[in-house]
Amino acid sequence: MSSSILTIIYLIASVTFIVGLKMLSHPITARKGNLVAASGMTIAILGTIFLYKENGVGLHNYAYIFAALIIGSIIGTLSAKKVKMTQMPEMVSLFNGMGGACAMLISVVEFNHFMQIENDEKYTTNYSMLLIIIVGLIIGAVSFAGSIIAWGKLNGKVKDFSFKGQHIFNMFLLLIIVSLSISIFYDFGDTDYIFYGILALALLYGVFFVLPIGGADMPVVISLLNSFTGVAAACAGFLYNNKAMLTGGILVGAAGTLLTVLMCKAMNRSLLNVVIGNFGVSNAASSSGEQGGAYKEVTISDAAMLMSYAKKVIIVPGYGLAVAQAQHTCHELEKTLTDKGVDVTYAIHPVAGRMPGHMNVLLAEADVAYEKLEEMEDANTNFKTTDVVLILGANDVVNPAAKKDPSSPIYGMPILEVEQAKTVIVNKRSMKPGYAGIENALFYQPKTSMLFGDAKKVLQDLCAEVKAN
């Protein structure tokens, strides 16, 4: 009876995962979608704790189980409440790494269980189970180690590192891992040593896999590692015959993979190129002759005047806006301009910021209407009829070198074509290159004016000046 009830619970949980994922595709329903999926997961966890039985024996050690659940819930809640928007990519990487670590540890536990009963004929011939254990171990370990390195790189604690022939070294390391994994199926004599050797090498591979990748490729890496964690979780679901875990893992793996592909398409690069390209690690400045020239500045009052009397203004948010935590002030400027009859929208590049959808989350937090957000294709069409473009901390996603300079590392990447507008105002703290380390020719163009300063302070001053006009 309990088995039938548990099956129904897993079915309900799986449906909530699918519905929740669908709701996450739109900012208006995303928060509810998160709650729907979380509710399904809660039901699945409680159902497993109280109803799961193997050979008639259920779970025990409830004190340990609930202590872990309570501690984890408290840590997760406090972390989510305290995290700043600029630290959101780091938190995503860290939490994703914890998921990979969980899948990795499940494989370790189940391997030990597998070896204890290897003398039982029905288990020694169950090579499919051993295969799932090994696959879950490798993917989980790579996801864990890679996510921790990504977390360190995003918060500045880990620097980009590469050496000559590193990709060859990585391929050789992967070949050893695969070879050792195959050898387990032919020799059970030293299986323990081989298994833990695979674990160590997979962790090492995860480190060297992410270390050389930096700059504008970090959002893609985070998405890719997220898909790895989903696949590892699906392997764990297969091991335990847990439909909810299997469904959740498949959904996360598929969604992460699709998002990775879409982001690569948005950058006009293949996934292989992202993984081995080292984009943003040692990029030299673009060789465009426009760079290194003179730039002009604009005052707050002049910038406010230009926007106050414009018919259409497009705001391009970037990581600088997140650093300054100026999303609410930006929304205030938008409302102030709208009250004056100015048509204000936002142009969103798919890989702006340091994680997938970073700018969408940032603006949603400030209650910016979803209808105000324009995707790159629509924005590029509208720039031609725009009076003023205000760029807030964005750099690489508006760099014309991607279109004009074949020697640039970002050449071929689709960008927001802001230079087509009548006037471009760029807010930055300084003239330093962006996260990808590439100098921007846009800053030296005749129609571009620089507005230096902290984004929040600049936006506050602009609001005051616009209201005064």
Active site residue 192: no
With vertex at residue 346, the alpha carbon angle to CA 307 and CA 389, rounded to the nearest 5 degrees, is 40
On whether the CB atoms of residues 409 and 438 are closer than 8 A, the answer is yes
Among 217, 396, 405, 461, which one carries the catalytic annotation? Answer: 396
Check if the beta carbon of residue 140 is closer than 8 Å to that of residue 229. Answer: yes
The catalytic residues are 396
